[in-house]
Chain A
Amino acid sequence: MRITQGCFSFLPDLNDGDIRTQVQYCIDQGWAVNIEFTDDPHPRNTYWEMWGMPMFDIKDAAAVMLEFDACRKAYGGRCYIRISGFDSTHGWEAVRISFIASRPENEPGFRMIRQQTSGRSVRYTIEPYAADRPEGDRYRA
């Protein structure tokens, strides 16, 4: 399967040139750019690990690519890496764009557990198959 979180998951995997265009867009909007990674892609896993601090006051996407490269060197292939743009203006003060920039080669997907309860209601839980293994060990071949 392919996890389709983020705003470009239905496009072919982005290459570095593609990523640069989107990062530059964030910078030009005045947003801070943040790199995060995780090996727990559950849709409700809000807090991915931060790769350093959000980058404020930068002018060029090369700055982000420098960090993205380093993050990819450390976690590429065994974690999801996402890049997001944060808008601090009043009324937003929130993430404005977020996309997956690197993903593990093999994505086993999610197990859906149906807990039968009273009547016809079912309690649903989903969990990543990868989460069966300990953190840090989840997407190794």
Chain B
Amino acid sequence: MPSTETETDPAAAELAESIDLRRELADTRVGEVLDRLDAELIGLTPVKLRIRQIAALLLVDRVRRRVGLTSGTPTLHMSFTGNPGTGKTTVAQRMAEILHALGYLRKGHLVSVTRDDLVGQYIGHTAPKTKEVLKKAMGGVLFIDEAYYLYRPENERDYGQEAVEILLQVMENQRDDLVVILAGYTDRMDRFFRSNPGFRSRIAHHIDFPDYSDQELMAITETMMQTQNYHFSPGGAAAFRDYIAARRQQPHFANARSIRNALDRMRLRHANRHFAGGAAVSLADLSTIEAEDVLASRVFTGASRPETAR
């Protein structure tokens, strides 16, 4: 008696006549998530376009299922490839919200993990660890960063293989329950998929995240500074443009993440400068980053010891 009955939607016949997709979009509030994605992420035009396409596909698919033109859950697992700091985690979060809004995920939370969270240290450790992570992710998105580390062909005793098998099984059998997003550097992900056809065949959408252009990174910088109530002097801004160009050439460049780190260090130098100066400071002084705060960076001083990505 408590079982829920499957009901055929009496509105289906009506809908078959004419379906207002815009209404559908508004009803699901997916539009809001897409708009937020547009507003909060600078650049990434191809990514945003792909997300919109996927959202449109899923929205139409939803309608088609309701009127009986399709059945079954589509495969929704994805791969996000690109360099660090290109917005993969943020987009994954929005993707989880979109899938939740469209009814493809029941909860829409994101569980972000790396190999260490899935693979154990001793025999018998991996399966419970992987299952634990999968259980936490049920109803949402499991985001596996640098997924290629799961697979280490050079070590035949590697426990990663066990995690891979469990993952593949769940990705196949519990498509209603969770969506897996594999992420990492483009070239390494390519190699990973080549040696793991099982994963490749279960991924429905590949999205490539391009590096940010210098102008985009400058815009990102300014947005970040605005939220912290800082701004550049004209000289400071010019210096930071040079910084971006120089930093990009150096190892461990991580797009927006490198920018955030650079900003943190500029604030340190800015504070230190005023502190060392000893004179009274004005409100403007407290919020203006000058060229000297930028130019003291190791990026300009030959980079004998390059900064790390984090």
Contact = CB atoms under 8 A, between A and B. Distances in A.
The short answer to whether A and B are in direct contact, CB under 8 Å, is: yes
Interface of A: 8, 11-12, 14-15, 17-18, 21, 52, 55, 57-64, 66-67
Interface string B102-115: 00001101000000
Contact of B139 (A14, A57, A62): A62
Contacts of B131: 66-67
A17 B2 CA distance: 9
Contact of A17 (B3, B106, B139): B3
Contacts of B177: 60, 62
Contacts of B3: 15, 17-18
B29 interface: no
B4 A55 contact: no
A45 to B, nearest CB: 27
Interface magnitude class on chain B: 20 to 34
B1 interface: yes
Given A12-B1, A15-B3, A66-B174, A60 B140 contact: yes
The 10 A-B residue pairs whose C-beta atoms are closest, nearest first, are A60-B139, A63-B135, A62-B177, A62-B138, A60-B138, A63-B138, A59-B107, A18-B2, A59-B139, A58-B135
A59 B1 contact: no
A58 B136 contact: yes
Most buried by B among A21, A62, A66: A62
A66 B177 CA distance: 10
A15 B3 CA distance: 7
